[in-house]
Amino acid sequence: MAVHDVKPRPVVSKKDALVREMLERVADKWTLLVIDALEGKRDVRFSRLREAVGDVSQKMLTKTLRQLERDGLISRRVHAEVPPRVEYTLTPLGDSLGAAVCGMWKWVDAHVEDVERSRRKYDAPAQR
């Protein structure tokens, strides 16, 4: 064994790392929008998805979809046709993640005002 074993810091724990990783995932620019666009639907084509999500670049959409697929949150089905057709569907796991995110959504929904008021106050040009 070599230098690899020297762990200068606890790194919290493996699971903690995954929690943060998943949080990062759902928080990144497109993931949530993609999940949202897939929720309740089946076999959505790449181009439809791109329209639904908004102005996502093709590159970023592809990347996002690959990550979601790797994590088992969506399924990707390629049809061997001559204009290629690829369809995406949320897996049950992905569906459940969508539900979990709902908690955050509700929190924001309930507290937008609080946050915005606090920000205005904080940003206020130091009066007097």
Partner DNA sequence: CAGCATCCGACATGATACTG
Partner DNA sequence: CAGTATCATGTCGGATGCTG
Question: Min. distance of Cβ 37 from its own copies in angstroms?
Answer: 11
Is the sign of the CA dihedral 103, 63, 93, 52 positive or negative? positive
Answer for which of 43, 60, 69, 89 binds its own copies (CB under 8 A) is 69
Residue numbers 13-72 binding DNA by CB under 7 A: 28-29, 45-47, 56-60, 62-63, 65-66
Burial class (CB within 10 angstroms; exposed 0-12, middle 13-18, buried 19+) of 37: buried
CA distance 19 to 85: 34
Question: Min. distance of Cβ 56 from its own copies in angstroms?
Answer: 10
Helix (H, G, I), strand (E, B) or coil at 82: coil
CA 44 to chain centre: 17
Question: Min. distance of Cβ 78 from its own copies in angstroms?
Answer: 15
> Are residues 94 and 37 in contact, defined by beta-carbon separation less than 8 angstroms?
no
Nearer to its own copies, 61 or 97 (CB): 97
Answer for which of 80, 114, 125, 127 binds its own copies (CB under 8 A) is 114
- Choose among 53, 51, 15, 59: nearest CA to 31: 53
Per 3-state DSSP, what percentage of the chain is helix, strand, and coil (rounded to 5)? 60, 10, 30
Question: Min. distance of Cβ 34 from DNA in angstroms?
Answer: 12
Q: Which residues bind DNA (CB under 7 A)?
A: 28-29, 45-47, 56-60, 62-63, 65-66, 76, 78, 83-86
Summarize as ranges the residues that interact with its own copies (CB under 8 A): 8-12, 15, 18-20, 22-24, 26-29, 32-33, 54-55, 69-72, 93, 96-97, 100-109, 111-112, 114-119, 122-123
